[in-house]
A and B are shown apart, each in its own frame.
Chain A
Amino acid sequence: MIKVDGLVKDYGKFRAVNKLSFEVGKGEIFGFVGSNGAGKSTTMKIAAGLLKPTGGTIYINGIDVTKEPSKTKRCIGYMPDFFGVYDDLKTVEYMNFYCGIHKIPTADRAALIDNLLELVNLTDRKGFYVDDLSRGMKQKLCLARALIHDPEVLILDEPASGLDPRARVEFRNIIRTLQRMGKTVIISSHILLELSEICTTIGIIEKGVLVTKGTVSEIQKQLSHLSKLKMRSVGDMKNLIFRLREEPLVTEVIEGHGYVECSFSGNDEDKSTLLQSLIQNNIPIYHFEETAGNLESIFMHLTEEDA
């Protein structure tokens, strides 16, 4: 469906995207994660036909976006990371304007606009001026606009930025609905946790390079060496800390309120061995828990490593 092939984009001497390659299958929700300036928006703009790559290309449905931009634009719905609305139009007029741009026959427009506004929960704001809508509503209106020509692929650049928690949940539900409708979605964010709940696949980009790609569980598995172990002991915590610091697979030991947490780079067998060793050394452990490296720490680790 979408194939990014050796994509390179330079702004003068600065390389924003560096030989980026990945594929997104039909019906997938691909989360594109990276810190600010990592190259997400540049990649998405190239896919939307708004920027010219310095090297490589992107194929949408097998069509090269640089060679046949008008063909690919017909199957892409793009939502940028800014509002981009006409404040002096009413919601329905705004939608009608883009229906005209996409050459939707006049007779079909009213029903289409009603359906799209219903999808994004803006039916009751149909007659409102865009200027009077809240930020979240404007974002949803932008999404409805991107759907007017029924594109197969949706490119959403940080659609949930600046939204309150309720609006974020609503937005996630809309994205899930779009997936059920068979759309392929590329969605970017600089918050991995935000995407992990809705994305089928995630790609982490840093300094224009794809650091890793896979499902959330695959990424967590890849980085299992980052797992943390949390322990509680009936006895003296200092003994526990002393023993842990002697273990070769333990890299960092932190004492909390009534517990000790350590970074552990071994597998499940190694964890079992560690627990046995602690008990054999008369450390009365009553709580031994693996706190899987959370997504934020994975993201931080990956991007720090690259930096």
Chain B
Amino acid sequence: MINPILERELKTRMRSWKTAMLLFGYLTILGLVVAFAFFAESNSYRYGVSGFDPTIVTGIYVAISMFQLGLLLFILPIFTATSISGEKERQTFDLLMCTDISPWAIIFGKMSAALSFVFLLVFAAIPFTGVILLFGGVTIIDLIKIMLFYMATAFMVSSIGMFCTTHFKKNISSIVMSYVILGAIFFIPLVVMAVVAIIMSGQSFNQPFVDFLEKYAHEIMTIMFASNPFFGISSLLSNNSFGSGISYLFSGMGTTSSTFMRYITPWMACTIFYALFSSLLLFLTKRKLVKLK
């Protein structure tokens, strides 16, 4: 038997004209991004050498991947952060809670409804990425890895949304808090890195501490940036110039390691962090759902 909350959400969402319009708008924008990337790359090539360079499609691949990751980070909080607070605003939350439905069924129904819609957008864009496969440079395995990474990221982002929506009564408060948490886990490591770099540039800095940082730079960077999906996706795009650049930027302080961490690539670190962080958030969400006032 399908989860009734998921069934209701899908039914009402999929018969709304807004869904079709959103899908149309998304694919139009994505098409424009691909066209822009294609013409920008091919024009710059045309001025140097005559003919078509098929390697430009890897640039398009990076553009699509980054655009879709951005979409996940931007859209998912709106869908998940309104799921429970929306029920509270509609005054239907108490009706759910006075039944013996399990809190996990509510969480699963709401999360899967939000995720399924976002993945509809991502999968609808597959024909664009399919074109890239025609020219080579990107394998089907790369695409599958990216998709799996999207799923892990989406799971984490929707867990943040679920956590916020159970703790706030108003949709708007819940959405804002979701973006604040997302912003914090993405940008705090960058700020910390910048502060450390500034401190280390001072000549009077404690030398043993600097040695420690240099020795374990790879481990520290991997742990610190495990929350940042752009760090994770960089390792999946590292067989092209843009991805290598990001990879280098994030792990520039040290690419060698003597510990087991050398086997942990950025996307693995991100996925492990997402799993742990999401588990914690969902546990707190469930606790809040069953906790009576």
Question: Do residues B4 and A101 form an inter-chain contact, with CB atoms below 8 A?
Answer: yes
Tell me, in angstroms, the Cα distance from A166 to B8 when the chains sit together: 33
Name A73's contact: one of B7, B90, B99 (CB within 8 Å): B99
Give the nearest-CB partner of A85 in chain B: B92
Considering the complex, which residues of chain A in the window 65-116 have a beta carbon less than 8 Å from any beta carbon of chain B?
Answer: 70, 73-74, 76, 78, 80, 82-86, 88-89, 93, 97-103, 106
Give the nearest-CB partner of B95 in chain A: A84
Give the nearest-CB partner of A73 in chain B: B100
Does B91 sit within 8 A of A, measured CB to CB? Answer: yes
Q: What A residues does B3 contact at CB under 8 A?
A: 100
Name A80's contact: one of B2, B90, B95, B293 (CB within 8 Å): B95
Please report the number of residue pairs spanning A and B whose Cβ atoms sit closer than 8 angstroms: 69
Q: What B residues does A85 contact at CB under 8 A?
A: 92
Question: Do residues B11 and A93 form an inter-chain contact, with CB atoms below 8 A?
Answer: yes
Tell me, in angstroms, the Cα distance from A168 to B109 when the chains sit together: 37
Does A275 sit within 8 A of B, measured CB to CB? Answer: no
Tell me, in angstroms, the Cα distance from A203 to B73 when the chains sit together: 55
- The size of the chain B interface, using a CB distance under 8 A, is 23
Q: What A residues does B11 contact at CB under 8 A?
A: 89, 93
Q: What B residues does A80 contact at CB under 8 A?
A: 91, 94-95
Contact with A along B60-102 (1 / 0, CB 8 A): 0000000000000000000000000000001110111111110
Question: Do residues B94 and A76 form an inter-chain contact, with CB atoms below 8 A?
Answer: no
Question: Do residues A82 and B99 form an inter-chain contact, with CB atoms below 8 A?
Answer: no
Does B120 sit within 8 A of A, measured CB to CB? Answer: no
Question: Do residues B98 and A48 form an inter-chain contact, with CB atoms below 8 A?
Answer: yes
Question: Do residues A89 and B292 form an inter-chain contact, with CB atoms below 8 A?
Answer: no
Does A52 sit within 8 A of B, measured CB to CB? Answer: yes
Name B12's contact: one of A70, A89, A103 (CB within 8 Å): A89
Asked whether A50 and B97 contact (CB < 8 A) given A84-B90, A85-B92, the answer is yes
Q: What A residues does B94 contact at CB under 8 A?
A: 45, 48, 50, 78, 80, 84
Considering the complex, which residues of chain B in the window 32-67 have a beta carbon less than 8 Å from any beta carbon of chain A?
Answer: none
Give the nearest-CB partner of B97 in chain A: A50
Question: Do residues A52 and B292 form an inter-chain contact, with CB atoms below 8 A?
Answer: yes
Does A40 sit within 8 A of B, measured CB to CB? Answer: no
Does B1 sit within 8 A of A, measured CB to CB? Answer: yes
Question: Do residues B292 and A50 form an inter-chain contact, with CB atoms below 8 A?
Answer: yes
Tell me, in angstroms, the Cα distance from A82 to B94 when the chains sit together: 10
Question: Do residues A100 and B96 form an inter-chain contact, with CB atoms below 8 A?
Answer: no
Tell me, in angstroms, the Cα distance from A73 to B290 when the chains sit together: 13
Give the nearest-CB partner of A52 in chain B: B292
Question: Do residues A83 and B91 form an inter-chain contact, with CB atoms below 8 A?
Answer: yes
Task: Name the distance in Å between B83's Cβ and chain A's nearest Cβ.
Answer: 13
Question: Do residues B92 and A50 form an inter-chain contact, with CB atoms below 8 A?
Answer: no
Name A88's contact: one of B4, B12, B96, B99 (CB within 8 Å): B12
Does A136 sit within 8 A of B, measured CB to CB? Answer: no
Task: Name the distance in Å between A280's Cβ and chain B's nearest Cβ.
Answer: 65
Give the nearest-CB partner of A77 in chain B: B98
Name A100's contact: one of B4, B92, B95 (CB within 8 Å): B4
7 sampled A-B residue pairs with Cβ under 8 A: A51-B292, A78-B94, A86-B90, A98-B99, A103-B1, A106-B1, A145-B95
**Shortest Cβ-Cβ A-B pairs, 5 listed:** A100-B4, A52-B292, A78-B98, A84-B91, A48-B98
